[in-house]
Amino acid sequence: MAIYNTNFGFESELDALSELSADEAAIFINNIMVENPKSVFGSYRTLAKISTEDEYNALRGIIENLVTGETGYLISDMVDMLKIPGDDYGRGGGLDLTSPTFLSFVSGLCTANGPTGMVEKIQNYTNSFQPIATSKYGFVSPGQIITARQQSTENI
């Protein structure tokens, strides 16, 4: 039985956690890893690092061909920003690779012209994982486990 409790802010499996003591359940929950997107500025150098040579050449060719046609300032400015080299840690140049505008741009290009999977590669590069205890959900104490269990039995 899955429960949602505002003490945790996420769904958990009651059956799995009910077999654990409050201390064990708190340790288990606090060690769950959650996605933590970080802002990463990248350039063509970054895209080359996370893709195969064929994927990079295809994407770069598609982007460069867009600029040779009549495009608006947004696209031409994005391409100019991609030419600014950054370092291996996503600092110092380019575009914010986590930007919905950039990801939508790449997705549209790749859906229409290939290569597939570039948005996922960019998102994998820009996401990190951290224990739930250090995320926005915060540390879960054994007391919260006891309270959540009491609330879940009251609501059945």
Distance CA 103, CA 156 (A): 43
Same domain, 106 and 49: yes
Number of structural domains in the chain: 2
Tens digit of each residue's pLDDT (9 = 90 or more) over 29-87 = 887 777 776 667 888 888 888 888 988 888 888 887 776 666 667 777 777 888 887 76
Is residue 75 domain-shared with residue 64, that is, in the same domain? Answer: yes
- Taking residue 50's Cβ as centre, other Cβ atoms within 10 Å add up to 16
Is pLDDT at 4 greater than 50 in this prediction?
A: no
Q: Which domain holds residue 101?
A: 41-129
Q: What mean pLDDT do residues 84-94 have?
A: 69
pTM of the prediction?
0.54
What's the pLDDT band for 155 if we cut at 50, 70, 90?
A: low
Residue 114 has pLDDT above 50, yes or no: yes
Residues 138 and 92 in one domain: no
